[in-house]
Chain A
Amino acid sequence: MKFWISAAVALILAVAAALTVKNEYFFFAGYVVLQFVVLATAWNILGGYAGYVNFGTGAFFGIGAYTAVLLVKSLGLPLGVQIAAAALVGAALGLGVGLLTLRLRGIFFSIATVAVAIILQTAIFNWRYLGGATGVQILRPEVTPPFDNYIKMLFVVGTLLAIVAVAVARYVETSWVGRGLRAIRDSEEAAECTGVPTLRLKLLACVVSGALMSAAGAPLPMYQSFVEPDSAFSLNYSVSALAMPIIGGTAHWLGPVVGAVLLGTIQQLVTVTISSELNVLVVGVLLVLFVVAAPEGIVGLTSRLWARFFK
């Protein structure tokens, strides 16, 4: 119950901000942070709970963006439909990738996910209708009231998506699915021996994770008014989606949220004030630091400190 109350509060705050705050850049940068909350949470379902490290977040994100482009260019469908369609495509891709690669161990799975990203990107290179390597310009439709500005509306949409993603992750974590995934992460052989349906659970995690990542990508064309494959499928999304849960903590659904908000905000600040390369460097350095020194992430650290000082 506590969760749903805080979710509702977050949504109300987002709408209130959209109706009152004047500076558009706040929403422009804030949307990116929310986008990463979804990506990080989605990544963690497969990466944190099940232990399968997905390097191909860019593939799902990009395919979500291009599904939206296709729907907008050919049929002019509204944003809500684009997001739903993107989620379906992402789920299908997750299923496909899962069937193809989940038999492979550790690093092979990860490399295979990178391969999927590049192959999809190359496919877009060769699809002139979607712009090829040149990219495609998107004109936004009229914004629906009560919002006076499309970016502010996207900000609220982003908040909704983030809430949905976190709710899904929380459900997965606390249900029998989560228990099964954790068993797989700890020892896949043992889990199989005790009758856990490992392949089905892993596929489920892939499908859910993929659907959420693609849903996060769907508003991108509207957000930027321009999409091109190099940046839509970029490995940068993969690094961030992986670093944020690791920094925040992979065991609990709160971890990716903390990681995304913290790292995402730092990234936006660095981009505005210094440069955009430095923000990738920040991600890389923090990732390595946490992986080496604090593998339980911020959430893990704080609960340990809490236990030490207050129990």
Chain B
Amino acid sequence: MTISRRSWIGAALAALGIAAVPAFAQQGPIKIGIGISQTGTLGGGGKAALLGLRMWVEDVNQKGGLLGRKVELIAYDDQSNPATTPGIYTKLLDVDKVDLLIAPYGTVPTAPIMPLVKQRDLLLMGNFSFQVNHTVKHDKWFNNAPWGDASSWTKGFLEVGQKAGAKSIAFIAADQEFAQNLANGAKAVAKQTGLKTVYEQNYPPSTVDFSSMIRAIRNAKPDMVFICSYPNDSVAIVRAINEIGVGPTVKLIGGGMVGLQFTPIMESLGSSLNGIVNYTSYAPGMKYPGIDEFLKRYHAKAVEAKVDPLGFYLPPFNYAIGQILEQAVTATKSLDSKTLAAYLHSHEFKTIVGPISWGPDGERAKPTVPMIQFRNLKDKDVAQFLQTGKQVIVYPPQFKQGSAIVPYDKARKAK
């Protein structure tokens, strides 16, 4: 469903309080357009991300807007379906006539519009995609995610596994842009480090039953299992792992499962997550300037909007997109894609998730992907995630809170 412009303006005005609206320049608002999942497999994350973005829009408008003009966010729901995004972004550009574009949340909805933005030579602010620019090679793409290429993502996982003596690895990956990018990269890294692949399987994104795959994995007796999946499949896979079991040889399982960072999913899976080692972008205990205050403000709004109440994964990074745009537009006094892109390529930006700068491919110059192990989780308890010791950071060293417990069967029961 679309989020109508009118209802957004109404909400924004109400939030600001009419009395506090400063005088905006007569030129009309600066329109920022985005298609972002509010339903479908990525919807849980998309809703939280959009709230983070809107918080930035409110904050910037309270300070007087950008270049003296009010900022207006036009958002449509892409339903996590890549078939909708070319139409949505064409509409944003030709019907709504937006000035700036932010990419959809996630690789799969973003992949279809990369040729479009390249051909129109427009700036696109990435939103947690993985290597989505590697074929098109657009020079005006800037991704906010903490990862770069596959080795930056898999480093933590493979290192922990190999330190525990792992020699073989199994891969399951969804047949979609994100999972394939990650799995291909991971397989290359695994080969380089001398790991033996004993099982690999791609599945169509609509697969709902994983019991056959988990059974096959158990049969293959791998030391590590690297999974690249989207939220719906991640949930089904976690349930299948708990239902069927992967066998006693598995030391480490997880790695690239999207969705296990969304609070509603963490809450509903509860104790079935115990022992899984997976990536994230932020976990309690990581210190960034301004993040604690942001999360507190976010929590209040999220509870009211009935959205992911903790907001660990996406909202801070979406707020950061806003901060980056704010700094770049203010410094260059321009909305032109070429000018902004040149500025973005040559500067580092301060955000609530730390300093951000990019390499020539538009991905992070200094990527670091935290790996956490879920431990000691109870069912149906949201508040437990605020404590440390539930998502124990096992990598990177600068944030490390503990060592991973191996093998997986032992970690599941650990306290």
Contacts and interface: CB of A to CB of B under 8 A. Distances in A.
B180 A134 contact: yes
B363 interface: no
B94 A137 contact: no
Interface in A113-138: 125, 132-135, 137-138
Interface stretch (B83-91, B121-129, B246-254): B83-91
B1 interface: yes
B91 A135 contact: no
Contacts of B87: 28, 271, 276
B197 interface: no
Contacts of A276: 84, 87
Interface string A123-165: 0010000001111011110000000001000000000000000
Nearest to A271: B87
A275 B1 contact: yes
Given A28-B90, A228-B83, A276-B84, A135 B177 contact: yes
Given A25-B95, A28-B90, A134-B176, A226 B82 contact: yes
A186 interface: no
Interface string B197-209: 0000010111000
Nearest to B84: A276
B106 to A, nearest CB: 13
Interface in B105-129: 111-116, 118-119
A136 to B, nearest CB: 9
A303 interface: no
A293 interface: no
Contacts of B177: 134-135
B82 A135 contact: yes
B414 interface: no
A276 B113 CA distance: 18
A139 B91 contact: no
B91 A133 contact: no
- Of A25, A226, A231, the most chain B CB neighbours within 10 A belong to A226
A100 interface: no
B interface residue count range (under 10 / 10 to 19 / 20 to 34 / 35 or more)? 20 to 34
Interface string B52-89: 00000000000000000000000000000111101100
B192 interface: no
B26 interface: no
B1 A226 contact: no
Contact of A135 (B94, B111, B136, B206): B111
Contacts of A272: 91, 95
A226 B115 contact: yes
A25 B115 CA distance: 17
B91 A137 contact: no
B34 to A, nearest CB: 17
A125 B175 CA distance: 8
A43 to B, nearest CB: 22
Contact of A24 (B90, B111, B180): B90
A140 B205 CA distance: 27
Contacts of A140: 115, 119
B202 to A, nearest CB: 7
Interface in B198-235: 202, 204-206
B285 to A, nearest CB: 36
Contacts of A228: 82-83, 112
B398 interface: no
A230 B94 contact: no
Nearest to B135: A137
B82 A24 contact: no
Contact of A226 (B93, B111, B180): B111
A307 interface: no
A225 interface: yes
B82 A133 contact: no
A265 to B, nearest CB: 15
B2 interface: yes
Instruction: Determine which residue in B1, B2, B112, B135 has the highest number of CB atoms from chain A within 10 A of its CB, and name it.
Output: B112
Contacts of B111: 134-135, 137, 226
Contacts of A230: 83, 206
Given A23-B94, A132-B202, A139-B136, 4 more contacts: A28-B87, A134-B111, A134-B175, A230-B206
14 contacts: A23-B94, A25-B91, A25-B94, A28-B90, A133-B176, A134-B175, A135-B177, A138-B115, A140-B115, A224-B86, A228-B112, A230-B206, A271-B87, A274-B2
Of all A-B residue pairs in the complex, the 10 with the closest CB atoms, nearest first, are A226-B112, A225-B115, A231-B83, A133-B175, A25-B94, A24-B94, A133-B204, A224-B86, A132-B175, A134-B176
